[in-house]
Structure 1
Amino acid sequence: MTASKSATEAAGVMPAAATASPGGRFVRVWDPFIRTFHWSLVGLFGLAFVTGDETEWLHIRVGYAIAALVAARIVWGFVGTRHARFSDFVRRPGEIAAYAAQALRFTAPRHLGHNPAGGAMVLALLVMIAGIAATGFAMTTDAFWGSEWVEDLHEVLVYTTIGLIVPHVAGVVFSSLEHGENLVKAMFTGRKRAP
């Protein structure tokens, strides 16, 4: 093994051909906070969506819970475990585009944490959901109570987020098939196949 190859694997990036793990070993990748954050956000976002026009008091409380989750995730992105940190998965646009091109050719390297496209999606979803929470809160203030443009922006952000969830799920399925591992299961167990 060359020095550059071992350094790449140590960084959590494996060549596309490196899909097998001797003895089926697994390593911990997603810590309990990340897993709890992810599935709580999925549930709360769905609950907020279905209660938006029907049960305002619940919708507002769920919105506050989502805002607290996003704030905690942002903090965890700086102080959390290795693969939870933004420094582990935030990449330049050129790297994201190169990874996407490799993925379409089924030659993308496997990443132990988020791949560059997944990292970009995490950021996009955090920004969108923070915007939803901010506009939702604004609508409860005296300054923006009944403000049509804030309500419209809130709704646009919600549907944009739903529009991002579709490629997010598709990317998870695609990457799972490409690298022969169940990424949904990994977000429950926290473990992925060792490099």
Structure 2
Amino acid sequence: MNTSSAYRNSSSAGDTTQRRILVWDAPVRLFHWLFAACFAGAWLTAESEHWRLVHVALGYTAGGLVIFRLAWGLVGTKYARFSSFVRGPASVWRYLLGILRGHPQRHVGHNPAGAVVIVAMLALACALTMTGWATYNDVGGNWPGEVHEALASIMLALVGVHVAGVVVSSWLHRENLVGAMLSGHKSGHPDEGIKRVWRSVAAIVLASVLAFWWWQWQVAPAPIAPGSNAATSHQTDRDDAD
């Protein structure tokens, strides 16, 4: 197991130096909350034709955020990199056994079980974006839409598992993991913290998302006002079709 991401035994002399350290950089935290907001918004607007363009924009945004997260998982800070938390089945099993035996091993970054859920969510988000694009552009018939809905339900279930895991881990280790993802700080040894917040990268990501939303707003078709000639023509076409 990666000793850089797991706490030393609580009986070690080094515990006297534990203090508040920086764990989650700004890009990771921004991705986490923006992705959560995009998925929630896309889920709530999925069945509404009136909000279809919002649904599509949020879906594309989530897909773009995942692309960024995959890149940052390769070149980002210590606990952002996949190499720091993605482990094999044996590590996941040992971690789960520790929980069952009442001796869970605390990790400064993501624990091995949480990493499985995170990777699954990233993969599902990619599949959701592709099937959503195919559905919106009428590519491939009806099956992309059906797959898209099924994947969205699986993603919602994974979100539930993720939230439950955060609650359980927060209780087991007596720490506020939600607060840590907001502030970026947790308790640990001084040599375990990261050095830079990378606010500049987070600012670029946020500016890109806002620019994309602005562009989507600009190219969105204007709504048809009731009583207008276009609305009357549209209603006539529908009546003729019926």
Would the TM-score normalized by the shorter structure come out above 0.5? yes
Deviation of the 1:166 alpha carbon? 1.2
The AA in structure 2 aligned to 1:76 is: W
Secondary structure in 2 matching 1:111: coil
Partner of 2:110: 114
Secondary structure of 1:192's match?
Answer: strand
1:187 equivalent in alignment to 2:181: yes
Determine whether 1:14 maps to 2:7.
yes
Letter in 1 for 2:65: L
Q: 1:178 to 1:153 in 2, by over 3 A?
A: same
Task: Provide the residue aligned with 1:165 in structure 2.
Answer: 159
Structure 1 residues 37, 53: CA separation in 2 closer, same or farther (over 3 Å shift)?
A: same
Q: CA deviation at 1:132?
A: 0.8
Q: What SS does the corresponding residue of 1:14 show, helix, strand or coil? A: coil
Do residues 26 (structure 1) and 37 (structure 2) align? no
1:102 correspondence with 2:98: yes
Separation in 1 of the partners of 2:47 and 2:111? 37
C-alpha RMSD of the superposition: 2.0
Which one is further off, 103-112 or 43-52? 103-112
Identity %: 38
In the alignment of these two chains, the number of paired residues is: 185
Whether the 8 Å CA contact 2:5–2:79 is kept in 1: the answer is no
Match of 1:93 among 80, 89, 93: 89
Amino acid paired to 2:77: T
Distance 1:157 1:191 in 2: 33
- Alignment correspondent of 2:131: 135
Who is 1:83 aligned against? 79
SS at match of 1:110: coil
| 1:127-185 CA-partner distances (Å, limit 9, x unpaired) | 111111110011133533xx221111101110001111111111111111111111010
Structure 1: how far apart are the matches of 2:129 and 2:105?
35
Larger radius of gyration: 2
Q: Corresponding residue for 2:194?
A: none
Which residue in 1 is equivalent to 2:36? Answer: 42
Distance 1:23 1:14, change over 3 A: closer
Deviations 1:14-62 (A, max 9, x none): 15646x9647611110000000000111111110011112111111111
> What's the secondary structure of 2:98's corresponding residue?
helix
Where 1:52 maps in the other structure, the secondary structure is: coil
